[in-house]
Structure 1
Amino acid sequence: MIAVVVAGVCLWPSADGGGEMPTARVYRDVDACLLTDSRGVVPGVPAAPVWAGMQEASRSTRVRVSFLPATGPDTRANVVPYVNSLVQEQCSVVVAVGATPVQAVRAVAPRQKQVRFVVVGDGPGSANVSVVRKGDQSEVRDRIRGLLTSLTGTS
């Protein structure tokens, strides 16, 4: 046990000659959560540029971001509990991308007025639902980054 501790101390980077010690990012107490279909945020799926925009917004605003893929049947009835889960986890902003996640958000949003929702697609917005129109990947990424920055009260 002592050998492990000594080895750990010897391998620990020094503050004077080993460069700067990495520091942890300090986040604000604000969460923005992305709901996707079962494919998640892998490259090439519609959620990828949305996730990239959320990550960019997080770097500049210090808002925590996370994503949750909805698994199981691709039905509104199956996905609504995922939206409710994000609300219960106290996500300040819930972003949905994909036809079924968007339908599920639109079903839940009227009963969750304290949460801001963002849907990627078409259709109207409402008091607590903002719409980001589809476009090319860089447009969607930039729109999400800007809207998330605006909705979380930072500039």
Structure 2
Amino acid sequence: MQKRPLMPLSRRSLYEKRPLVINSVFEKPHANEYDWELDWPAILYAPVGTMGHQPIGLLVIGCRSDHWYTEEDVAYAHALGYSLASLVTALRGPLSRLNESEGEVAQLLSYGLSAPEIARVIRTDDRHARTLVNGVTKKLRSVAADDLMFPIVQMKRRAYRL
């Protein structure tokens, strides 16, 4: 789940809430990594979301060689976008609380790296990495049902005289 600026055609797919296929007439032999969407000859955009609601994401499927997507491919990608909606919603909630560096640390934690290993990967000292790891684990800690229950407190009974 990456955030990046949207190209006009991907924006159109989200606005119209339907898949969009782009095929180039010619191939570029040396694709630029930054503008890969402009360099790839075949791209399929499919909105991720539930029917009738604003899309919450965009599924991008691309091919580096000349390829024509069939109607079945487009329908499958569209159905996959609807199927992925609940997963993206579940992940988007906790991960939306993380800033960019915390998102990188969360990804490294998911690979099983320790705090000293994360410090080496992100090129920082161990103390700063430990602070980031603690912040990420605190933000991603799940809430248990016991945390939501009110404590039972004994209250004094008041006697009312009539």
Which TM bucket (shorter chain)?
under 0.3
Per the normalisation by structure 1, the TM-score is 0.23
Per the normalisation by structure 2, the TM-score is 0.23
**Larger strand percent:** 1
